């Protein structure tokens, strides 16, 4: 890192130390607004992220196997495709977005500006959660109108809340990938993680249809635990204790958050 950039970062750090709590919150809200505005201006990101889980749900949860699992397939797959849906924005916003901004120099510019690093992370997290909410509400609408899904109000709310908050560990994983990968390789690597992990977690096919060895393997992946945690709300899960799922998701969040922090400080010292 050259002397000018190092000097700018020192000035930025000094400016940050003088910011009040209200100014921190204002910066986070402003960053979040512009991250969302930037994303919705990119149809190549918005369209597949929102449409793919909804399209898959229409085909495999509504049109086919509608009467499977004693008629519970539309409800079951609304949740599993909801899980699939919330993972996408988290992994791609962080994993691909951060890697690209890093290669374009935007990441260095933000480090040299009086913006707290937490604002950058929280802004991208708010983007991922907003898209998670939009996808969830879209699946709810399809499930209720065409799949005959009938739930009490508290269940709808709990499912939505669980799925949206469930994006957090995938934001941590995506941030680590974005910090570690180059922009040219990030999309391919994220897809190689996202798609096989989703399938092996039982998000496309009910986990009960898997052989025992794959059911056991699924428990290694965070999407499995988020799906099972959400399915427990409507009593369609595999019956594992709720705290096991929560602990695994928290562990992924903390571990990859720590990895991301290490990667961030490594970049700063280069």
Q: What is the pLDDT of residues 140-183, one digit of tens each?
A: 999 999 998 999 999 999 999 999 999 999 999 999 999 999 88
The tally of CA atoms less than 13 A away on the side-chain side of residue 144 is 12
Contact 31, 123 (CB under 8 A): yes
Three-state SS annotation for 179-225: HHCCCCCHHHHHHHHHHHHHHHCCCCCCHHHCCHHHHHHHCCCHHHH
Q: What is the pLDDT of residues 233-250, one digit of tens each?
A: 999 999 999 999 999 999
In angstroms, rounded to a whole number, what is the distance separating the alpha carbons of residues 179 and 264? 7
pLDDT band for position 103 (cuts 50, 70, 90) = confident
In angstroms, rounded to a whole number, what is the distance separating the alpha carbons of residues 204 and 206? 7
Contact 65, 205 (CB under 8 A): no
Residue scoring higher pLDDT (31 or 75): 75
pLDDT band for position 12 (cuts 50, 70, 90) = very low
Residue scoring higher pLDDT (67 or 186): 186
Contact 86, 132 (CB under 8 A): yes
In angstroms, rounded to a whole number, what is the distance separating the alpha carbons of residues 107 and 94? 12
Q: What is the pLDDT of residues 115-145, one digit of tens each?
A: 777 788 888 899 999 999 999 999 999 999 9
Strand ranges (DSSP E) for the chain? none
The mean pLDDT of 19-41, rounded to a whole number, is: 78
Q: Cα torsion at 196, 198, 203, 209 (round to 10°)? A: 40
The mean pLDDT of 54-73, rounded to a whole number, is: 81
């Amino acid at each position: 890192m050259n002397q000018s950039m190092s000097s700018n970062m020192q000035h930025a750090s000094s400016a940050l130390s003088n910011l009040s709590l209200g100014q921190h919150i204002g910066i986070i809200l402003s960053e979040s607004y512009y991250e969302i505005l930037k994303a919705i201006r990119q149809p190549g990101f918005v369209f597949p992220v929102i449409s793919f889980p909804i399209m898959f749900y229409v085909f495999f949860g509504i049109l086919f196997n509608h009467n499977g699992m004693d008629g519970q397939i539309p409800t079951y797959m609304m949740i599993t495709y909801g899980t699939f849906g919330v993972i996408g924005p988290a992994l791609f916003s962080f994993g691909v977005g951060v890697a690209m901004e890093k290669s374009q120099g935007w990441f260095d510019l933000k480090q040299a500006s009086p913006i707290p690093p937490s604002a950058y992370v929280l802004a991208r997290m708010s983007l991922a959660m907003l898209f998670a909410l939009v996808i969830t509400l879209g699946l709810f609408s399809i499930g209720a109108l065409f799949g005959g899904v009938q739930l009490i109000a508290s269940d709808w709310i709990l499912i939505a809340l669980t799925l949206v908050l469930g994006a957090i560990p995938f934001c941590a994983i995506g941030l680590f990938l974005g910090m570690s990968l180059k922009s040219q390789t990030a999309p391919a690597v994220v897809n190689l993680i996202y798609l096989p992990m989703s399938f092996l977690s039982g998000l496309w096919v009910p986990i009960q249809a898997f052989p025992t060895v794959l059911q056991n393997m699924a428990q290694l992946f965070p999407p499995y635990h988020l799906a099972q945690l959400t399915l427990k709300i409507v009593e369609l899960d595999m019956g594992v204790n709720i705290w096991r799922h929560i602990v695994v998701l928290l562990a992924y969040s903390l571990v990859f958050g720590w990895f991301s922090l290490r990667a961030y400080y490594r970049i700063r010292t280069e």
